[in-house]
Amino acid sequence: MEKIVEQGLLYDFYGELLTPHQRRIYEDAVYNDLSLSEIAQEAGISRQGVHDLIKRCDRTLEEYESKLHLMRRFGEIRQKLERIRELCDDKEVQRLTEEIMEEL
């Protein structure tokens, strides 16, 4: 999986477990695509500090996933729903699987 996509998914699942400061910096780096210099200037810290914080957040989010497996389970459920949709022509089943996908 491409790193930026994986970072985004991990953040979607576990981002609320980071501190507000960590979330702001991480969002600027991953979602807003700001440079280390831009983030450092905005946050009032060094570029190295921003880099270290992003790496620490990456490790933290990966540790959460290694313990909780929410992202993996989400992927497995989506794959099973897709398989059900492929195998079943019943419109009601199709509609229900679509609803479940949207709720995930």
Check if the beta carbon of residue 25 is closer than 8 Å to that of residue 51: no
67: tokens are 């313990």
CA angle 54, 58, 60 (to 5 degrees): 115
Q: What is the pLDDT of residue 9?
A: 93
Domains in the chain (CATH in brackets) are 1-68 (1.10.10.10), 69-104 (no CATH)
C-alpha 98/C-alpha 104 separation (Å) is: 10
pTM: 0.81
Residue 46 backbone dihedrals phi, psi, to 5 degrees: -75, 160
CA distances from 95 to 4, 14, 27, 82 (A): 31, 29, 34, 12
Q: What is the pLDDT of residue 63?
A: 98
Give the tens place of pLDDT for each residue, 58-74: 999 999 999 999 999 99
